[in-house]
Amino acid sequence: MRVLALAVVLVAGPVWAKTCDVRAFGAKGDGTTKDTAAIQKAINACDHVVLSGGTFLTGPIVLKSNTTLEVKEGATLLGSPDMGDYPKVTFARQPTVQPLVSSLNAEHVVITGGGIIDGNGHVWWEYVAGIKDAGVLGTDHPRPMGLVFDHSKHVRVENITVQNAGFWQIVPYYADDVVIRNVTILAPHSPNTDAIDPFSSSHIVIDHVRSSVGDDNIAIKSGAINSPGPDAPSTYITITDCTFENGHGLSIGSEIAGGVQHVHAERIHFKGTDNGIRIKANRDRGNDVSDITFKDIDMADVKIAILVSEYYPKVYPEGDVAAAPVGRLTPKFHDISIENVTATGSDVAGVVVGLPESPVVGLSLKHVAIEAKAGMKIAYAQVVMDHVAVDAAEGEGITVSPTATVVKK
As a whole number of angstroms, the distance between CA 369 and CA 371 comes to 7
For residue 172, the model assigns a pLDDT of 98
pLDDT per position as a tens digit, 175-232: 999 999 999 999 999 999 999 999 999 999 999 999 999 999 999 999 999 999 999 9
Residue 84 has pLDDT above 50, yes or no: yes
Task: Measure Cα distances from 376 to 162, 316, 379 in Å.
Answer: 36, 11, 10
Residue 22 has pLDDT above 50, yes or no: yes
pTM beyond cutoff 0.85: yes
Q: Which residues are catalytic?
A: 215, 248
Task: Measure Cα distances from 52 to 70, 74, 370 in Å.
Answer: 8, 7, 47
Q: Are 238 and 276 in contact (CB under 8 A)?
A: no
Lowest model confidence (mean pLDDT) among 10-19, 58-67, 107-116, 292-301: 10-19
As a whole number of angstroms, the distance between CA 10 and CA 2 comes to 13
Residue 91 has pLDDT above 90, yes or no: yes
Residue 8 has pLDDT above 60, yes or no: no
DSSP 282-311: -TTT--EEEEEEEEEEEEES-SEEEEEESS
Cis peptide before 313 (omega within 30 of 0): yes
Confidence of residue 34 (pLDDT cuts 50, 70, 90): very high
Lowest model confidence (mean pLDDT) among 290-299, 310-319, 354-363, 387-396: 310-319
For residue 150, the model assigns a pLDDT of 98
Confidence of residue 16 (pLDDT cuts 50, 70, 90): low
What average pLDDT score do residues 137-150 get? 96
Confidence of residue 291 (pLDDT cuts 50, 70, 90): very high
Residue 4 has pLDDT above 80, yes or no: no
For residue 320, the model assigns a pLDDT of 78
Identify the three-state secondary structure at position 327: coil
Identify the three-state secondary structure at position 42: helix
Amino acid letter, 378: I
For residue 197, the model assigns a pLDDT of 98
Q: Are 115 and 160 in contact (CB under 8 A)?
A: yes
As a whole number of angstroms, the distance between CA 211 and CA 195 comes to 7
Residue 37 has pLDDT above 50, yes or no: yes
Considering the chain, what is the average pLDDT of its residues?
A: 95
For residue 321, the model assigns a pLDDT of 87
Lowest model confidence (mean pLDDT) among 2-16, 90-104, 251-265, 277-291: 2-16
Q: Are 17 and 49 in contact (CB under 8 A)?
A: no
* DSSP for residue 125: H
Identify the three-state secondary structure at position 269: strand
Task: Measure Cα distances from 127 to 3, 123, 132, 190 in Å.
Answer: 68, 6, 12, 12
Cα–Cα nearest to 36, from 87, 95, 92: 87
Task: Measure Cα distances from 235 to 116, 220, 262, 380 in Å.
Answer: 29, 9, 5, 26
Task: Measure Cα distances from 22 to 13, 45, 118, 122, 378 in Å.
Answer: 27, 11, 17, 26, 57
Q: Are 60 and 98 in contact (CB under 8 A)?
A: yes
Residue 317 has pLDDT above 90, yes or no: no
